[in-house]
Amino acid sequence: MNPLRILQYPPSSSDFSVDSWLHELEKRGMTMSRMNLSIYQENVFKRYKSKSQIARNLSEDWCSNEMYCPSCLNDNLERCSNNNKVIDFICAKCTHEYQLKCSATKFRRKINDGEYYTMNHFVTSDSAPNFLLMHYSKDDWSIKNMFLIPRYFISTSIIEKRNPLSANARRAGWTGCNILLSRIPHNGRITIIKNEKIVDKSKVHKIWERMNFLNNRRPNLRGWTSDVLKCVEDLDKDEFTLQEVYHCKEYLMELHPNNLHIEAKIRQQLQFLRDNNIVQFLSKGKYKLLK
């Protein structure tokens, strides 16, 4: 069959169906997203008055109905119980877990998360979820942007401890945390929707798979790899030298104060990134960041 012909919509065949047409596209590697970017539900606005409750229910309902698993491309994510402190959704096929964050403004340098010690325990025990970050508009209640932070980029380096609540607060002493988006490499922020345009899920999955080697590392080691990769990306050049990465020593010492051999650790992480086709070794002390 001519591959251009199956792109005609609808085909002239009398036995045409949308599902069969999409299946034909998928067989030829030409997938088509069917996400509905509207999160509006009239019944939610009738049921709740709190703006935060409305936003939470709208966003969670959308994920339950429209979001797929970037890890295995399972079409559905299942909602977890409300008493789960960290996990909002789980994939029944591959068991990857997800936490959803939504905002009516674009995400910038950091986002508020839950209790610091709980989150820190999840990270160090290798139980951190993947994060889905949804930016929506209150004007038309539709999703404008959405991206994913895979769990293997969630390290203690990006968890910022907030000040405890004051003694007069209802939850006196409670200590929250922030997730520092500014410390996550570009490879750790996978775009799903950008400016209301849906990224093909096969492309999302491909980016996921490219960095998935980190998932097999211990949390403290993958944190080092992520931090060094961020330093390389911040050089903003395709080819770079070892000496240029050494200029990040003070920054890496701040993130890893117990390590006294920063330069050796940098070399180790560059070798690991080279072995996994993220950087290319050119000559002594010279590398190239692969796209």
Decide: 143 and 196 in contact? Cβ < 8 Å.
Answer: yes
115 band by pLDDT with thresholds 50, 70 and 90? very high
Cα 273 from Cα 270, distance rounded (Å): 5
pLDDT tens profile 242-260 = 999 999 999 999 999 999 9
pLDDT for the residue 7:
42
pTM of the predicted model, to two decimals?
Answer: 0.84
Beta bridge pairs of residue 178: 112, 160
- Please give the angle made by the CA atoms of 255, 260 and 265, to the nearest 5 degrees: 75
Cα 291 from Cα 238, distance rounded (Å): 9
pLDDT for the residue 82:
72
Decide: 97 and 154 in contact? Cβ < 8 Å.
Answer: no
pLDDT for the residue 18:
44
Cα 101 from Cα 107, distance rounded (Å): 10
Segment 138-151 mean pLDDT: 96
- What domains sit in the chain, N to C, each tagged with a CATH number? 37-212 (3.40.210.30), 217-291 (1.10.10.10)
Cα 208 from Cα 203, distance rounded (Å): 9
Average pLDDT, the chain: 89
pLDDT tens profile 179-221 = 999 999 999 999 999 999 999 999 999 999 999 999 999 998 9
pLDDT for the residue 271:
97
pLDDT for the residue 2:
39
5 has pLDDT over 70: no
Sheet holding 176-180, edge to edge: 110-115, 176-180, 159-161
Structural tokens at position 248: 């990040």
Segment 55-84 mean pLDDT: 92
16 has pLDDT over 90: no
